[in-house]
Amino acid sequence: MQHYPKSIRNLIRQLSRLPGIGEKTAERLAMHVLKAPADQAQALAESILQVKRSVQHCQQCFGLSDGPVCQICQDPGRDRDLVCVVEQPADMMSVEKAGCFKGLYHILGGVLSPMDGIGPDRLRLEQLWRRVDSGQVKEVILATSTSVEGEATASFIAQRLAGRPVKVSRIASGIPMGGDIKYVDQMTLKRAIWGRHAC
């Protein structure tokens, strides 16, 4: 790499800081940028700067947004009674891609993890209690992950909401679709049997 001109070396270094991009790939990408039309390179650089300038957290759900309130929270077609609680914006995007949920979201910004010093005050829980207390929410769906921390966070929220006039539910866990029973781990199988439903 030391044979490249300084500006190319710098671009390769910057690109290889991206996740999953090694030096070899960074070199190939840098060569592409070099050969690409100037306006395409400009558009890429501009979009990087723009995303850092304009993306902020939605004031209501704390998802990613270009403005103070995100598209989903603004959408009059969404069901305001239902709030799906997730850990991160990426989880919200996954639920959106599944395309079966038409309510609103609440992004916690993480999970409870005493080992990492993340207690309830580090998550957006106060904001969740406030949303529930506003009276507009009828059901809170806990869609944190099924890891130890995700489960603990879901239990914590369920306990804290217990006294309030709101239904609290947890997404189902069990065998993933297309999963082969003999390869599924015991914990998942146990959950699948516990959570069985009438056919």
Is 49 an interacting residue with respect to a second copy (CB under 8 A)? yes
Contact segment (CB under 8 A) with a second copy among 16-24, 132-140, 145-153, 179-187 equals 16-24
The pair of structure tokens assigned to 86 is: 């997730």
The pair of structure tokens assigned to 32 is: 């592409």
Is 182 an interacting residue with respect to a second copy (CB under 8 A)? no
Contact segment (CB under 8 A) with a second copy among 15-23, 110-118, 119-127, 133-141 equals 15-23
CB 22 within 8 A of CB 1: no
Contact segment (CB under 8 A) with a second copy among 30-38, 145-153, 172-180, 185-193 equals 30-38
* Cα–Cα distance list, 99 to 32, 58, 86, 111, 189 (Å): 36, 21, 16, 24, 26
CA angle 53, 39, 11 (to 5 degrees): 70
Is 10 an interacting residue with respect to a second copy (CB under 8 A)? yes
Of 23, 19, 41, 24, nearest in space to 32 by CA: 41
Contact set with a second copy (CB under 8 A): 3-8, 10-11, 13-15, 17-21, 25, 28-34, 38, 40-55, 64-66, 70-72, 90, 92-93, 96-97
